């Protein structure tokens, strides 16, 4: 009698948006699913990235996670930098779909589903064409997803134009809407956040892409996501305030799986740029809680020279040691004062790319001046570091509002003027306000590492993993739900 054929390993294909802040959390999610498999080898994970990202990352060493390269048809911009948005956005729509389809066809019999970063929505119709189920992944907060999902409704109500701009007050019945109006009036997000229309992520960009093109990009995502029933979100259960009262779009379930963080060293090979490993040695020589860490991430465009100049003078005027991750490129460092690095060398250190997680968990770091990228926010909270918020684009302003008004784990830097920078550093690093911020960030840290948020994330991931093993990865939940709306 012939021996029974061993069951095939199910493969989950991950498709991230090609930016560091998107690739990293997706790799962390992939690693989490492999760990949740319990060593049974029932599920394998492949993260499919464009070839220019694959070249930057080199060898990936996450146990159980493979890295595949999708030909993009575009070249790097030079100096080791990946191509800019215009190049890879065109490739994602016009070249990469056929390449991904060929990759999936070769593995069609074993692919269980695709987990698609919603900003990489180009992969959704590819999966639909092959009859493969798709589960969405949103790398940020549920709050930011909500502001994108509501775009069609705002357009139907006549609050925004077809180019995405706010319709002026004299064009709206009652004349009640303007770009500075609190969006809580329209029940998008909690009033406590004090957010205005101009803070919405699809109205903000540090790139040269036109407003009309940006809105078209977001509308395309919203339309494609309508076919997805389950969305994994790298956010906290509850998020805060009355945000839990808002339901997801009809027909979708939201599974909070954040924060996706690791501290066992397995994710150190995922950076696209070479980090400066001298940072830790330098921090070892500083006093506990004395250092200001400054970084504006890898995705935001360079800050204007006059703003860099103000930050530089403010850091110097603070009289405190600081570590500044600032890309070594004229577009980023143009605003540094003459001979600045030599002048502050006794207590300041500037590097091109820093091992951020190692820095934030170092006992010498006392505060973090940040652009409020979501991964950076989670890392700061996880290590109990209060923040000084200087949002630049995208979801930064919403994240900043939660940091300052909802969680009270940081303060806003209104401008980059020397006096404002110096004042904010003093407020965070000393006095009653600084003590309150540290108390609140440690409270939130407890929630995301061992508290309710972590428990809900684990249940969501276990549920999703069970569906994969049962060949029902995008099955609707019936009965016991774990979404933020059902606590």
Q: What digits encode the pLDDT tens for the residues 395-449?
A: 999 999 999 999 999 999 999 999 999 999 999 999 999 999 999 999 999 888 8
- List 255's β-bridge partners, or say none: 232
Q: Which residues are within 8 A (CB) of 225 and not within 5 positions of it... i.e. 6 or more apart?
A: 118, 121, 124, 136, 149, 231, 252
Residues 134 and 283 in one domain: no
pLDDT digits (tens, 9 = 90+) for 275-287: 778 999 999 999 9
Residues 312 and 223 in one domain: no
The mean pLDDT value of the chain amounts to 83
pTM of the model: 0.88
Residues 226 and 284 in one domain: no
Which domain covers residue 84, as residue numbers?
10-146+204-264+450-469
Residues 290 and 245 in one domain: no
Considering the chain, what percentage of its residues have pLDDT values greater than 90? 46
Residue 21 lies in a domain: yes
CATH code, domain carrying 391:
3.40.50.2000
Measured CA angle at 393 (ends 389, 395), to 5 deg: 80
pLDDT of 246 above 70: no
Residues 255 and 380 in one domain: no
pLDDT of residue 160: 78
pLDDT digits (tens, 9 = 90+) for 19-75: 888 998 999 899 888 887 655 667 789 999 999 888 877 667 788 888 999 999 887
| φ and ψ at residue 68, rounded to 5 degrees | -110, 150
Residue 72 lies in a domain: yes
Of 19-23, 61-65, 179-183, 384-388, the one with minimum mean pLDDT is 179-183
pLDDT of residue 279: 94
Residue 401 lies in a domain: yes
Residue 195 lies in a domain: no
Residue 129 lies in a domain: yes
Residues 155-170 have a mean pLDDT of 71
Residue 176 lies in a domain: no
Could you tell me the pLDDT band of residue 237, with boundaries at 50, 70 and 90?
A: confident
Whole-angstrom distance, CA of residue 235 vs CA of residue 262: 15
pLDDT of residue 291: 98
Give the helix/strand (H/E) hosting 43.
Answer: strand 43-50
Q: Total structural domains in the chain?
A: 2
Question: Which letter, b or e, does each residue of 74-104 get, where b requires 16 or more Cβ atoms within 10 Å of its Cβ?
Answer: beeeeeeebbebebbbebbeebbbebbbebb
pLDDT of residue 119: 95
Residue 485 lies in a domain: no
Give the helix/strand (H/E) hosting 378.
Answer: helix 374-382
Whole-angstrom distance, CA of residue 287 vs CA of residue 366: 10
Residues 314 and 376 in one domain: yes
Whole-angstrom distance, CA of residue 366 vs CA of residue 331: 28
CB 125 within 8 A of CB 84: no
pLDDT of 144 above 70: yes
> In 3D, which of 186, 413, 458 has the Cα closest to residue 315?
413
> Is omega for the bond preceding 259 within 30 degrees of 0, making it cis?
yes
**Tokens linked to 372:** 């409020």
Reduced to 3 states (helix: H, G, I; strand: E, B; else coil), residue 56 is: helix
Does 192 or 476 have the greater pLDDT score?
192
- Compute how many other C-beta atoms are within 10 angstroms of the C-beta atom of residue 369: 25
- Round the CA-based radius of gyration of the chain to a whole number and report it: 23
Residues 285 and 418 in one domain: yes
Residues 84 and 52 in one domain: yes
CA-based end-to-end distance of the chain: 52
pLDDT of 482 above 80: no
Residues 440 and 462 in one domain: no
pLDDT of residue 199: 83
pLDDT of 7 above 90: no
Residues 172-185 have a mean pLDDT of 58
Residues 313 and 246 in one domain: no
Residues 243 and 356 in one domain: no
Residues 105 and 213 in one domain: yes
Does 105 or 160 have the greater pLDDT score?
105
How many residues are listed for the chain in this entry?
Answer: 487
Residue 172 lies in a domain: no
Q: Which residue spans within 380-458 are E strands per DSSP? A: 387-389, 410-412
Could you tell me the pLDDT band of residue 306, with boundaries at 50, 70 and 90?
A: very high
- Compute how many other C-beta atoms are within 10 angstroms of the C-beta atom of residue 22: 23
pLDDT digits (tens, 9 = 90+) for 108-143: 778 889 999 999 999 999 999 999 999 999 999 998
Residue written as tokens 């909500």?
A: 146
């Amino acid at each position: 009698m012939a021996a029974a054929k061993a069951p095939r390993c199910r493969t989950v294909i991950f498709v991230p948006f090609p930016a560091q802040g998107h690739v990293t959390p997706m790799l962390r999610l992939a690693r989490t699913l492999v760990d949740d498999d319990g060593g049974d080898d029932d599920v394998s994970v492949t993260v499919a990235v464009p070839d220019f990202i694959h070249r930057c990352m080199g060898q990936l060493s996450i146990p159980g996670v493979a890295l595949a390269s999708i030909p993009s048809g575009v070249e790097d911009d030079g100096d080791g930098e990946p191509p800019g948005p215009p190049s890879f956005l065109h490739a994602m729509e016009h070249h990469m779909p056929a390449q991904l389809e060929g990759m999936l066809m070769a593995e069609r019999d074993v692919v269980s589903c695709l987990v698609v970063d919603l900003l990489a929505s180009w992969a959704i119709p590819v999966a639909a064409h092959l009859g493969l189920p798709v589960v969405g992944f949103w790398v940020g907060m549920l709050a930011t997803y909500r502001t994108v999902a509501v775009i069609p409704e705002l357009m139907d109500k006549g609050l925004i134009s077809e180019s995405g701009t706010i319709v002026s007050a004299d064009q709206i019945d009652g004349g009640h809407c303007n770009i500075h109006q609190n969006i809580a009036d329209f029940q998008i997000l909690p009033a406590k956040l004090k957010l205005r229309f101009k803070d919405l992520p699809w109205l903000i960009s540090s790139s040269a892409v036109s407003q009309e093109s940006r809105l078209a990009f977001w509308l395309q995502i919203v339309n494609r996501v309508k076919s997805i029933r389950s969305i994994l979100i790298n956010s906290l259960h509850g998020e805060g305030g009355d945000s839990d009262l808002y339901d997801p779009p009809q027909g979708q379930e939201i599974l909070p799986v954040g924060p996706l963080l690791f501290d066992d060293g397995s994710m150190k090979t995922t950076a696209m740029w070479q980090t400066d490993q001298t940072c830790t040695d330098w921090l070892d020589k500083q006093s506990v809680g004395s250092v200001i860490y400054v970084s504006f991430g890898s995705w935001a465009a360079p800050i204007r020279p006059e703003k860099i100049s103000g930050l530089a003078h403010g850091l110097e005027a603070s009289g405190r040691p600081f570590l500044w991750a600032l890309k070594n490129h004229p577009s980023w460092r143009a605003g540094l004062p003459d001979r600045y690095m030599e002048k502050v060398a006794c207590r300041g250190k500037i590097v091109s790319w820093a091992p951020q997680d190692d820095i934030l968990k170092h006992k010498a770091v006392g505060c973090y001046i940040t652009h409020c990228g979501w991964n950076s926010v989670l890392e700061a909270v996880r290590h109990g570091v209060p923040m000084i918020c200087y949002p630049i684009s995208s979801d930064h302003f919403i994240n900043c509002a939660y940091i300052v008004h909802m969680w009270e784990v940081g303060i806003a830097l209104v401008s980059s003027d020397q006096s404002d920078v110096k004042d904010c550093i003093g407020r965070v690093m000393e006095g009653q306000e600084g003590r309150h911020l540290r108390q609140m960030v440690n409270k939130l840290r407890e929630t995301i590492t061992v508290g309710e948020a972590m428990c809900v994330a684990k249940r969501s991931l276990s549920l999703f993993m069970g569906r994969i093993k049962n060949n029902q990865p995008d099955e609707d939940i019936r009965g016991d739900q774990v979404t933020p709306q059902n606590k």
